[in-house]
Structure 1
Amino acid sequence: MAIAEIKTFPLRIPFKPGVKSAASAWGPKGLNVVDTLLTRVTTDDGLEGWGESFGFVGLPVTRTAIDEVIAPMCVGRDPAQIGPLMGDLQEKLHVFGRGGPLTHALSAVDIALWDIAGKAAGVPLHRLLGGTSATDLPCYASLNAYGQPDLVRHAVRQAVDAGFPAVKLHEKQLPSIKAARDEAGPDVAIMADVNCAWTVNQALAYAKELEPLALTWLEEPVWPPENYSGLADVRRSGIPIAAGENIGTLLDFDRLLDNEAVTYVQPSPAKMGGVTELSKVFTLARLRNVPVMPHTFYDGPGLLAALHTVAAMATTDTMIEWRYFDLEAQVYGSQLTVQKGRIGVPSGPGLGMDPDPDVITTYLHG
């Protein structure tokens, strides 16, 4: 068996009419859309595996990396040799950087190869990773960016009424974060992702103001994100810290943990190397007794890759991030849903489901 083709599928899915969000939150040039990059790997005997790279405005660069750099290096190689192939590609491409679009691109191919491995063996991916007795897992609602307290309140109310026991904000202003806590009440877990918005001193000051809100975690408060010692200073102030989605190598995850900078570590399978590297972070974190909360701000194969890996390797502390967006469509259509804050672990071979072909046909962009 050999890899015969690698093909990319850029999707542009609009929000439903009337959905309000912070200007230019995710779409290029302020468009109220979300861009997703899927990758299909096909073998010479007809098996297909699907992967996903982190999308949004960086999608065109990642797509070029797959189409023009990585795909030609993979065609003809054995898809069952995932570790050796990914290691070889990382070594050959390291001079161009150990994170960013090339690593995002490698992530998609890795996920697709694990999908193929499960399909070839006739078992779900989590079986290849050690197995699980779980049929579903807890998840939290990861909200759109709104920028206005009244919009935040409305979104939080929707998520709570839908049965989510935990809600994550993408808000940088304290009034919006406070509005979320007021709306949710004391029994709902609230997390706040500020996307590396503050200096260490600013983060320390904000952490003090956020203390009464009892956040489950404050996510990526410090710029630049690789300032692990500064992040550790903020954590030592008493607020729980989560970070890791911007890390591309296992060694940097080790440095993050060695600095005792995080309460929760957040590898992102569609950004840092797919299932192969994600599973290594679980092992590394277990040695440090740090819970893993994968970053899965996407709804395609990257999400399923995390779901299977969590089912096989995580502790009971881990929650799945469910992107709670009002988009016109989702990559898997109605196949993948959340009920009362729980998401099912797919039982089919590989990732357990393929992207909805009608969604791909309708929203293919470029």
Structure 2
Amino acid sequence: MRRFSVSRIETHAFRVPLSVPVETSFGIMRDRPAVFLRIEDDQGVFGWGEIFANWPSAGAEHRARLALEDIAPLLLGKDARDPRHVFRELTRKTRIRALQCGEFGPFSQAIAGIDTALWDLNARADGQPLRRLLNPGAADIIPVYASGIDSRKAQAGIAEARQAGHKAFKLKVGFDERDASRVEQQVKGLGTQEALFLDANQAWSLDEAADFLSQIEGSAIGWLEEPIAADAGEAVWRRLSEVSTIPLAGGENVAGASNFQSLIESRILGFIQPDVAKWGGVSGCFEVARQVVDAGLTYCPHFLGGGIGLLASAELLAASGGPGLLEVDVNPNPLRDAFAVPAIVQGSMTLADGPGLSVDALPESLDPYRTFHGEIAQCS
């Protein structure tokens, strides 16, 4: 097999100010950031990836420079056609660097974006969608759900999501003592073919989460996501699962293959949600997805960022072969909407047949929002 080496790497950071901030139980997003990464090989074939940048508020530019200045030199000249090997090697070579500065998250996120770009490059070189490179029998149509709906504004948020073609909705909770009554009100308004999920964003202690669950017991809720801290420990999560009649979900704040394996084996969560831009990229998340499906659990990719990561998440779900849904944030975000994300019709999305992620270049409409651009190339 012929070897093609990485010859050029670019990173781009963007920020879009918001007139209406996006609120969660742990913080407020006053702008929408994104970091996109482009990798090109010595034959001119390229691929795009996305690096998580939602938190902290100053994180986008930091991650763009981290990927470019600290990690990219380790990648130049390496084999572009073996993403899994590159993922393992970059993780190994940057471990001490991440330990030195205590920034395991940013390093993992940057490597995740690099990995996705390499997979996009390979699918583009083969002339097929990423999902078919991963699984020749991948689906072309996937179910989706509307995410990021503030439970305090749920009536209007769900109505708008319905208009956009959604049949499943996820409310953010964890704000105050009226969470349960708001949820009950929205359950009553659901159609017969509609579903409702909840996300507390790690808002509660074990006792607080158990109290909330007791208030909504018997309600038609598909899952409750991250009711307690992701690192609360297996024993605490198991205690919560034992008192919950609603399936629990999580995974966006889990990193590492061994940690996901332990999570799957524990069977505490019914829905497991790795984020392609936070850890693993395509290499790690697809392996987790296959393990989840094989275990009889449900893989639902987490994502709340720009258009490239959303497209990668869609391709991963389509390739997984499981019954999960794609998370689609319904809050305004030009860094997502500028890309050719397929339309949502009757709660489903039909994916494109273009090569890779079907992204040729960054849309020019994003230029006013760019806050950083840098590139590094191999000397000829």
TM-score by length of structure 1 reads: 0.90
- TM-superposed CA distance for 1:133, in Å, is 5.5
SS at match of 1:184: coil
> What is the DSSP-based 3-state SS (H/G/I as helix, E as strand, rest coil) of the residue aligned with 2:120?
helix
The aligned counterpart of 1:262 is 269
Which secondary structure does the structure 2 equivalent of 1:333 belong to?
coil
Aligned length: 356
Q: Alpha carbons of 1:170 and 1:239: their partners in 2 closer, same or farther (altered >3 Å)?
A: same
**Could you tell me whether the CA contact under 8 Å between 2:164 and 2:344 is conserved in 1?**
no
Q: 1:331 to 1:110 in 2, by over 3 A?
A: farther
Contact 2:308–2:357 (8 Å) recurs in 1: yes
Matches within 5 A, 1:173-212: 173-184=179-190, 187-212=193-218
- In structure 2, do the counterparts of structure 1 residues 355 and 245 end up closer, same or farther at CA, with 3 Å as the change threshold? farther
Shift of residue 274, structure 1, vs aligned partner? 0.6
Unaligned runs of 5+ residues in structure 1 are none
Shift of residue 84, structure 1, vs aligned partner: 1.4
Q: CA deviation at 1:244?
A: 0.5
Residues 314/214 of structure 1: CA separation in 2 closer, same or farther (3 Å cut): same
Distance apart, 1:310 and its partner CA? 1.6
Q: 2:303 aligns with which of 293, 296, 303?
A: 296
**Partner of 1:143 in structure 2?**
148
Letter in 2 for 1:153: Q
Structure 2 counterparts to residues 112-151 of structure 1, below 5 A? 112-132=117-137, 134-144=139-149, 146=150, 148=152, 151=153
CA contact under 8 A between 1:229 and 1:261: conserved in structure 2? no
Q: How does 1:152-167 map to 2 (within 5 A)?
A: 152-167=154-169
Trace 1:1-366 onto structure 2 (pairs within 5 A): 1-15=4-18, 19=20, 21-22=22-23, 26-27=28-29, 31=30, 33-56=31-54, 57=57, 58-95=59-96, 96=98, 99-132=104-137, 134-144=139-149, 146=150, 148=152, 151-172=153-174, 173-184=179-190, 187-237=193-243, 238-315=245-322, 317-328=323-334, 330=336, 332-354=338-360, 356-366=362-372
Task: Measure the CA separation in 2 of the matches of 1:332 and 1:115.
Answer: 19
Q: TM-score, normalised by structure 2?
A: 0.86
- How has the CA–CA distance of structure 1 residues 189 and 225 changed in structure 2, closer, same or farther, with 3 Å as cutoff? farther
Cα distance between partner residues in 1 of 2:76 and 2:291: 32
Residues 193-202 or 320-329, more deviating: 320-329
Change (3 A) 1:118 1:283: same
CA distance in 1, matches of 2:40, 2:47: 7
Higher RCO, 1 vs 2 (CA within 8 Å, ≥6 residues apart): 2
Distance 2:14 2:134 in 1: 30
Give distance in 2, aligned partners of 1:331 and 1:43. Answer: 28
> Which deviations, in whole Å up to 9, do the C-alpha atoms of 1:168-223 show, x marking residues without a partner?
11221334433432443565211111111111122111111122432100001112
Q: Secondary structure at the match of 2:254?
A: coil
More strand per residue: 1 or 2? 2
CA distance in 2, matches of 1:201, 1:246: 21
Over 3 Å counting, the alpha-carbon distance change for 1:20 and 1:88 in structure 2 is closer
Q: What whole-Å deviation, never above 9, does each CA across 1:296-349 have from its counterpart, x for those lacking one?
A: 22232222222122212222x211111111234535435533223211222111
Residue pair 2:151, 2:183 contacting (<8 A) in 1 also? no
Runs of 4+ aligned residues of structure 1 deviating over 3 Å after TM superposition are: 19-26, 182-187, 331-336
The superposition leaves residues 213-247 of structure 1 with CA deviations (integer Å, 9 ceiling, x where unpaired) of 32100001112435233222222222210111111
What is the percentage of aligned positions where both structures have the same residue? Answer: 27
Q: 1:178 to 1:14 in 2, by over 3 A?
A: farther
User: In 2, are the aligned partners of 1:221 and 1:231 still within 8 Å (CA)?
Assistant: no
User: 2:335 and 2:84 mapped to 1: Cα distance?
Assistant: 34
Identify unmatched segments of 5+ residues in structure 2. Answer: 373-380
Structure 1 residue 162 displacement after superposition:
3.0
Q: CA RMSD in A?
A: 2.3
CA offset at residue 355 of structure 1? 5.1
The alignment partner of 2:216 has SS state of: helix
Which residue identity lines up with residue 255 of structure 1 in the other structure? S
* Distance in 2 (alpha carbons) for counterparts of 1:277 and 1:155: 33
Distance 1:182 1:20, change over 3 A: farther
Q: CA deviation at 1:100?
A: 1.0
For residues 335 and 196 of structure 1, the distance between their equivalents in structure 2, rounded to whole angstroms, comes to: 29
The answer to whether the 8 A contact 1:14-1:328 is kept is no
